[in-house]
């Protein structure tokens, strides 16, 4: 048959709605990028026939200039969305040296019989109640549905109506994230202002705020906005109602710190966002040695003002370290770690953390921070990765020996297993342990999603990242990883939206603009993609983006010019990206050589986002025995 471009179709087990760019698979709605839908419809229009790459370029990419790699990538992504195996296809078969053939049957979709108005269940207007394919018996796909089938369909309709909202948020469903209700027992702790005379105590005011946030987050009855989101308003002029709305909280704790020598003045106030009323405020004039008591008193006062019932019968208690001097160094180390992600910054952070554990060897927070900071040093060429692995593992194990219930310590050890050992099950175990200890920890969700993506489970990774966003809605890293995961799933429009959100949150952060350019290119927006590449803050990724994008646009000369610059300046930490460009260009020997170098260097991008398993840039190597051997060495599927 020759189905039209509009009108709902049945393709195998799929319900396909071209007008909405949606397919329904096993009761789950999946939003396709428009060009991906055009690809599927083009194959359906020629169902059972071989469609050449040239024909697909003419019919699907007629409005843009691309090369055959775009077809290979798009087909690979569509297969991933459909869970289709290229070796044993249910939907799309390769025809060697000729093109592709849709092997699934194609027919018009026949909707379920209407349920009478008197008996119809109440259905939200925004929910599509079309019967999932799986609810229809395979023996009655065509016309002439009997009474028994009609009754079965009606029963299935009722079941689907009850389960639909749950399924809509499933891993491979639409990108709709269930909104987080704003309860009275929800709060954001903003970064306290540094009111010191010389304005040189920002590290201390930030650190005190974070400690308060961590204390309150220990209460299961209290929903606390994550640090990344709460601190994103630092230095901005947003009012309290706006902040509360963006963070999905009912209350906001703000304050200031004035530190002079050993004297400390802390002012804190708890504000109800919808009314602007102060629920509680207090000023504490203390000596620095009393800082732990001040933290506890503020946390207890907030709990009392919110009338939170404590399961334990007592307020949370601060215990980051026993020493005031070590505590000050701990805050300084964290501030340096957050603010100065650079060779010098990480070295300073390691130095501060080492002083913390020397002053207080029982500080689990100090050991955890040391593990995290040391693990970063190989990226800057400061320390061989083998040495960093040993030191980071030792520090993480020390933290866990002191406090096995510290989620951050499990994450620190999981990162060692992930980055250096390439032991995915062990890494997943540690990240799962962190999540079990604190299901609301967005940092744990980020790393759990990363390891899922690494082993090729892009759908699972996306679900975990979306869960993280519900806890930490303004987290740049989570939005950027959603952009990568949706790109790997062929959902370019969603990838563009997530990448745009990421660059809005941190315009100067590395990789965000490259991810946005990647999505734009998938959507055929070539000029916009090139513009985003030039906005990338990290020069190495700019050169990578140029080499890749120009090649896909057919501008070989420009790609040829960018690739040597990428190799000359960034081979120490972007060998994986160099390999990806060579693979995209159909140069397997060079690609495999640079992959081996990335492996020897334990590069971040080698394992992030499931690149080796899911990145379409490596499609030209999928059937190469050497590539398969490399995947086995990496303990990855393929």
pLDDT tens digit string along 500-540? Answer: 999 998 888 888 999 999 999 999 999 999 999 999 988 99
The per-residue pLDDT for 66 is 59
| Predicted pLDDT of residue 532 | 94
Q: How far apart are the first and last CA of the chain?
A: 35
Contacts of 490 (CB under 8 A, 6+ apart): 32, 33, 36, 74, 77, 78, 80, 81, 522
Structure confidence by residue, pLDDT tens digits, 180-224: 446 778 889 998 888 877 777 888 888 888 888 888 887 777 888
Judged by average pLDDT, the poorest of 95-109, 110-124, 167-181, 549-563 is 167-181
Helix (H, G, I), strand (E, B) or coil at 463: helix
The answer to whether the beta carbons of residues 5 and 98 sit under 8 Å apart is no
pLDDT band at 153 (very low <50, low <70, confident <90, very high): very low
At residue 72, does pLDDT exceed 60? yes
Report d(CA 427, CA 408) in Å as an integer: 13
Confidence of residue 166 (pLDDT cuts 50, 70, 90): very low
pLDDT grade for 605, boundaries at 50, 70 and 90 = confident
Return the top range by mean pLDDT from 64-73, 275-284, 458-467: 458-467
Q: According to the model, what pLDDT value does residue 119 have?
A: 38
Q: What percent of the chain has pLDDT over 70?
A: 83
Task: Place 171 in a pLDDT band, splitting at 50, 70 and 90.
Answer: very low
pLDDT higher than threshold 50 for residue 621:
yes
Confidence of residue 165 (pLDDT cuts 50, 70, 90): very low
Long-range contacts of 324-328 (CB under 8 A, 24+ apart): 324/288, 324/289, 324/291, 325/359, 326/355, 326/356, 326/359, 326/360, 326/363, 326/366, 327/291, 327/292, 328/204, 328/288
What pLDDT, on the 0 to 100 scale, is given for residue 397? 96
User: Nearest CA to 154 among 126, 107, 127, 118?
Assistant: 118
What does the pLDDT average to over 226-239?
83
Interval 238-263 mean pLDDT: 85
CA–CA distance, 377 with 391 (Å, rounded to integer):
11
pLDDT at 137: 34
For the ranges 64-78, 246-260, 461-475, the lowest mean pLDDT is seen at 64-78
Q: How far apart are CA 456 and CA 484, in angstroms?
A: 12
Q: Using the predicted structure, report yes or no on whether residue 169 has a pLDDT greater than 50.
A: no
What is the rounded distance in angstroms from the CA atom of residue 169 to the CA atom of residue 164? 9
Per-residue pLDDT band at 108 (split at 50, 70, 90): confident
* Long-range contacts from 353-357, C-beta under 8 angstroms, 24+ separation: 355/326, 355/329, 356/321, 356/326, 356/329, 356/330, 357/395, 357/398
The mean pLDDT value for 478-505 works out to 92
Structure tokens at 288: 């620095």
Angle between helices 364-374 and 407-415 (to 10 degrees): 20
- pLDDT, position 5: 46
DSSP H or E segment with residue 189: strand 186-189
Average pLDDT over residues 382-403: 94
- pTM value surpassing 0.75: no
> Residue 52 gets which letter from DSSP?
-
Q: Identify the structural domains of the chain with CATH numbers, from first to last.
A: 1-174 (1.10.10.10), 186-318 (3.40.50.10070)
pLDDT for residue 309: 52
- The first and second tokens of residue 497, run together, are 């939206």
Largest CA distance in the chain: 87
pLDDT for residue 295 is more than 70: yes
Grade residue 308 by pLDDT with cuts at 50, 70 and 90.
low
Of 357 and 312, the structure prediction assigns the larger pLDDT to: 357
CA angle 82, 170, 15 (to 5 degrees): 40
Calculate mean pLDDT across residues 572-578.
Answer: 93
Q: Can you give the pLDDT at residue 146?
A: 35
The number of angstroms, rounded, from the C-alpha of 107 to the middle of its chain's C-alpha atoms is: 37
Residue with tokens 């899911």: 614
Phi, then psi, of 280 in degrees rounded to 5: -170, 145
Pairing of strands 14-17, 28-31: unpaired
Q: Classify burial at 509, counting beta carbons within 10 Å of its beta carbon; exposed 0-12, middle 13-18, buried 19 or more.
A: middle
Q: What angle do CA 531, 534, 539 make, to 5 degrees?
A: 160
Q: What is the pLDDT of residues 334-384, one digit of tens each?
A: 888 776 567 787 888 899 999 999 999 999 999 999 999 999 898 888 899
Residue 124 has pLDDT above 50, yes or no: no
CA dist., res. 11 & res. 102, Å (int): 9
pLDDT band at 77 (very low <50, low <70, confident <90, very high): confident
Chain mean pLDDT for the chain: 80
Position 313 scores a pLDDT of 41
């Amino acid at each position: 048959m020759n189905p039209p471009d509009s009108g709902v179709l049945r393709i195998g087990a799929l319900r396909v709605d071209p007008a909405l760019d949606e397919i329904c698979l096993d009761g789950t709605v999946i939003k396709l990028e428009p060009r991906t839908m055009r690809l599927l419809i083009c194959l359906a229009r020629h169902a059972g026939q071989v469609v050449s790459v040239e024909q697909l370029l003419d019919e699907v990419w007629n409005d843009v200039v691309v090369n055959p790699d775009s077809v290979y990538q798009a087909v690979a992504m569509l297969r991933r969305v459909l869970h289709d195996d290229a070796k044993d296809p249910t939907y799309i078969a390769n025809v060697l040296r000729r093109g592709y053939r849709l092997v699934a049957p194609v027919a018009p979709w026949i909707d379920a019989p209407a349920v009478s108005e008197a008996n119809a269940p109440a259905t939200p207007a925004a929910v599509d109640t079309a019967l999932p394919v799986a609810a229809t018996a395979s023996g009655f796909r065509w016309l002439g549905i009997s009474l028994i089938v009609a009754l079965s369909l009606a029963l299935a309709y009722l079941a689907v109506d009850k389960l639909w909202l749950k399924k809509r948020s499933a891993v491979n469903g639409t990108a709709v994230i269930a909104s987080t209700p704003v309860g009275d027992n929800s709060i954001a702790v903003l970064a306290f202002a540094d009111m010191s005379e010389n304005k040189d105590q920002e590290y201390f005011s930030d650190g005190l705020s974070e400690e308060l946030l961590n204390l309150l987050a220990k209460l299961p009855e209290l929903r606390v906005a994550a640090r990344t989101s709460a601190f994103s308003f630092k230095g901005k002029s947003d009012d309290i109602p706006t902040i509360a709305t963006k963070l999905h909280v009912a209350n906001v704790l703000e304050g200031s710190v004035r530190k002079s020598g050993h004297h400390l003045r802390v002012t804190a106030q708890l504000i109800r966002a919808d009314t602007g009323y102060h629920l509680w405020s207090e000023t504490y004039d203390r000596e620095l040695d009393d800082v732990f008591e001040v933290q506890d008193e503020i946390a207890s006062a907030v709990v009392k003002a919110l009338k939170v019932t404590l399961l334990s019968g007592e307020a949370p208690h601060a215990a980051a370290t026993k020493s005031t001097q070590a505590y000050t160094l701990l805050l300084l180390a964290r501030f340096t770690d957050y603010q100065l992600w650079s060779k010098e910054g990480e070295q300073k952070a390691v130095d501060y953390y080492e002083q913390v554990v020397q002053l207080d060897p029982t500080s689990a927070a100090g050991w955890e921070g040391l593990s995290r900071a040391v693990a970063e040093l190989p990226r800057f060429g400061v320390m061989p990765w083998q040495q960093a692995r040993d030191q980071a593992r030792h520090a993480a194990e020390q933290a866990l020996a002191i406090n096995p219930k510290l989620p951050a310590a499990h994450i620190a050890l999981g990162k060692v297993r992930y980055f250096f050992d390439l032991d995915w099950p062990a890494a997943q175990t540690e990240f799962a342990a962190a999540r079990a200890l604190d299901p609301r920890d967005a940092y744990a969700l980020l790393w759990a999603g990363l390891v899922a993506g690494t082993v090729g489970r892009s759908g699972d990774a996306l679900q975990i990242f979306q869960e993280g966003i519900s806890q930490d809605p303004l987290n740049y890293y989570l939005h950027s990883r959603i952009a990568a995961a949706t790109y790997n799933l062929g959902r370019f429009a969603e990838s563009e939206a997530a990448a745009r959100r990421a660059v809005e949150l941190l315009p100067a952060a590395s990789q965000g603009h490259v991810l946005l350019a990647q999505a734009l290119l998938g959507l055929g927006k070539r000029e916009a993609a090139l513009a985003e590449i030039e906005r990338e803050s990290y020069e190495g990724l700019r050169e990578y983006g140029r080499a890749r994008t120009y090649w896909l646009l057919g501008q070989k000369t420009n790609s040829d010019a960018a690739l040597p610059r990428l190799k000359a300046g960034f081979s120490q930490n972007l060998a994986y990206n160099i390999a990806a460009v060579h693979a995209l260009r159909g140069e397997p020997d060079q690609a495999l050589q640079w992959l081996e170098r990335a492996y020897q260097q334990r590069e971040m991008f080698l394992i992030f986002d499931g690149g080796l398993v899911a990145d379409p840039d490596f499609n030209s190597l999928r059937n190469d025995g050497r590539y398969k051997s490399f995947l086995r060495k990496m303990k990855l599927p393929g």
